[in-house]
Structure 1
């Protein structure tokens, strides 16, 4: 089995940076033992202008059979000849995917301590696989890779025998991919799609394969048009696991849609102003407003209630002033996705000690939520049935009682500015309601009064003079007991526009 990865460079960014990203020195030929043979990494060319890394996997087919793991392609156990005479040593398959995780483990994770900014930057890549089984033909190869940002996808059929063209084409193709992608993204795509095209795996597919698929498919699989086929084939058509993975991917898609589907209209740039800078997405502005409010409040121990996929938790961990971050969600699948996003199993000891993910419902009081500086409910309350809001209110403001509570929710008045949103329709199918500014202020004011908090309102996103901002933020601050009294609740507008509103 053979795979090559090539890139080009400049004097400022030499192509040999590929060696840093792969953690394999271009001047060395290295060999690595795998469970099914030996993997070799070598560089046929390594100059500042062009660099190519090659992965050569030597498979021992006899050892493969003797381990009892050769049945993925050979058919019935008594098909002795098929067990020993097959394409396993030559054609790219799940064996090559597993070898990639052994040899390019850090590169798959996008980790490069020497050149971290290079690892995060798309680079010109050419990837070639000389012999790739393509169950579905060249057409399927294009359908799998073309949506992933490759500028050129070439799947050239390999003849059964060049001396006898009348025999026709084999089921193998020579794959060439060219485009500008992050190296980690390209490797993850190959890790998933090589066994998908082969439509077979050399090992028994256990439940942990779902986690592997979701981890490698992060950022591209949830929106892929061939998601169902990829998921089914990768999991060897085990329908229970396929259904579990599809449900998790749908959760990812819905969570991303909640932040981007309707808001994408806000990010449109006038076609006549090519030099205009693309506006910041509303979801990013929302997280920036929350972080700004938490820093202003001096919070260090923070709860993210209804944390979903963990985007806010991820941002909080980037700031060392937040010494303890707890994400809570009612959905275990959402927490699993958040754990993969945060790479909890790979965090260093100090950083891992700062974060915790827990399952729980805001419909009930929870002693685990007590004694924190701040709690965040970002785009949460609109997903709760109105009759359950009093229970949520008591669980957060009455029982947990953090010093600061931040609540964000859509402003329904702004919906008329979304040209893509039909009149009278809420922004997301799971929203139980969407409030006007007056309705939100009325609810927040009563909550503050009942539980001894002051409340301040801030705009998130462009503050339209007619319909207000797309997102409204309430900052609740606990009033000291000495100041509490019948008229102690403070309700006010923010006198200083938040940074994200100014930018808008």
Structure 2
């Protein structure tokens, strides 16, 4: 099994300092199931590639009880020596521990520097195929290139295997790249070769800090990482969801005693829906159901739909909305569904209004075009309400450094001019008039902390 990490950031040989592995040496680390060899196929100022070659010993697998147990021959006939799996994660943790923990003795300033990296995995098994692979890496901002393999080249009618050659590209600090690979490689494989206990929850929380809590597939990642052990997965998800809610934007410096900004948004959206006199509303990206709870209080709304990409968030929404205890008349007008705004969904059609509260900034800009088609071309509600943060207002937050975003999962933050340009273009393309208003306390020359666009067909 071969993993390579390449950078062309000058001088590229700084990769050797970060990994604590000298480019002029081949190093070997003994592992329980074999050996890990670290070497550099190329090491110049303009391009440096570090390779981790994992040499699994099948005999050690059998002696260690890691060869599989589902049927007798699986201990001797399996793909473990040839594919990226939890054995590779273990090798990364042992050979690159210093780099993954964010330590660099000779050049400590490199630890937090985002560098352009290309990661190649020669053979990665992915239970769920390319769809799951992209679902895991693309929300983190990786460019994903995939080469699929046939089950058998002599029998192409058998179709594709679940093995892929994968190339990932991103600009990130190396410690984050390694932590994400450590977690996601066995998640792709959906298997682990060692005992899973409470300590694995701690590992997941530690290695997933700063990215897992806002990942749209965090439930899938958590369940697979913890080998589908329900009590451990439930504990981990509970802890991850607690961290998810800490947004810098909720309390500006000058407004400590005022209503939280998120509540201001929700109330503004509810009041606007009442003004529009709509009766059926789809809350796209409903999260834990806060807006739905506000709308449920108003009998004018006869049908409410909440959709979110997070299944766990929907479970929380179901609990907070007390759906199981609602009178039948109220329960029949509310529906929660699991889905994504990057896929066409017939269930979103036929509503008077669709609402996206602080949703668009969580998508990579190239994927916004898909969202536009899903909402405006296919679902075609009479009204669409979209809110997003106002980047110009970020100077009001003392803890927010220049150029930083309000939330770690934001892929962009737009000024008023940028938001209005995008919304106007979308409205013209799909036949909607567009109106804008600020949300929150308005500051001269900055606008409000958040902004709203109303689209009318």
TM-score bracket relative to the smaller structure = 0.5 to 0.7
Shift of residue 69 of structure 1? 2.8
2-structure distance, mates of 1:168, 1:417? 48
Kept in 2: contact 1:207–1:241 (CA 8 A): yes
Q: Structure 2, unaligned stretches of length 5 or more?
A: 271-287, 291-394, 399-457
Distance 1:161 1:418, change over 3 A: same
- 1:31 is aligned to 2:28: yes
- 1:111 is aligned to 2:108: no
Structure 1 counterpart of 2:38: 41
Shift of residue 114 of structure 1? 1.6
2-structure distance, mates of 1:416, 1:196? 36
Structure 2 counterpart of 1:6: 6
1-structure distance, mates of 2:191, 2:55? 19
Distance 1:416 1:148, change over 3 A: closer
Q: Deviations over 1:322-344 (max 9, x none)?
A: xxxxxxxxxxxxxxxxxxxxxxx
Structure 2 counterpart of 1:127: 119
Structure 2 counterpart of 1:336: none
Q: SS of 2:78's equivalent?
A: coil
Paired residues in the alignment total: 278
Shift of residue 167 of structure 1? 3.4
Which residue, out of 238, 246, 258, partners 1:412? Answer: 258
- 1:219 is aligned to 2:210: yes
Q: Deviations over 1:85-121 (max 9, x none)?
A: 1101010000000111100001111211222221101
Structure 2 counterpart of 1:80: 72
- 1:100 is aligned to 2:92: yes
Q: SS of 1:121's equivalent?
A: coil
- 1:245 is aligned to 2:236: yes
Shift of residue 169 of structure 1? 1.6
Kept in 2: contact 1:132–1:172 (CA 8 A): yes
Which residue, out of 263, 267, 270, partners 1:422? Answer: 267
Distance 1:82 1:462, change over 3 A: closer
Distance 1:462 1:94, change over 3 A: closer
Distance 1:192 1:417, change over 3 A: closer
Relative to the length of structure 2, the TM-score reads 0.57
Structure 2 counterpart of 1:228: 219
Structure 2 counterpart of 1:144: 136
2-structure distance, mates of 1:91, 1:417? 46
Kept in 1: contact 2:122–2:166 (CA 8 A): yes
Alignment of 1:25-424 (within 5 A): 25-71=22-68, 74-75=69-70, 79-150=71-142, 152-254=143-245, 256-257=246-247, 259-260=248-249, 262-263=250-251, 282=252, 410-412=256-258, 420-422=265-267
Distance 1:117 1:429, change over 3 A: farther
Q: SS of 1:53's equivalent?
A: strand
Shift of residue 207 of structure 1? 1.2
Q: SS of 2:213's equivalent?
A: coil
Kept in 2: contact 1:124–1:178 (CA 8 A): yes
Structure 2 counterpart of 1:22: 19
- Greater Cα shift, 17-26 or 164-173: 164-173
Kept in 1: contact 2:6–2:119 (CA 8 A): yes
Kept in 2: contact 1:141–1:155 (CA 8 A): no
Shift of residue 181 of structure 1? 1.0
Structure 2 counterpart of 1:476: none
Distance 1:416 1:238, change over 3 A: closer
1-structure distance, mates of 2:165, 2:122? 5
Kept in 2: contact 1:65–1:84 (CA 8 A): yes
Q: Deviations over 1:40-80 (max 9, x none)?
A: 00000001000000000111122111122333xx41xxx23
Q: Deviations over 1:156-215 (max 9, x none)?
A: 211223354333221101111012111111111110111001001011111110000010
Distance 1:25 1:418, change over 3 A: same
Kept in 2: contact 1:4–1:53 (CA 8 A): yes
Structure 1 vs Structure 2 CA RMSD: 2.8
Kept in 2: contact 1:38–1:58 (CA 8 A): yes
Higher relative contact order (CA 8 A, sep 6+): 2
Kept in 2: contact 1:149–1:181 (CA 8 A): no
Distance 1:93 1:25, change over 3 A: same
Q: Which has the larger radius of gyration?
A: 1
Distance 1:416 1:251, change over 3 A: closer
Shift of residue 154 of structure 1? 1.4
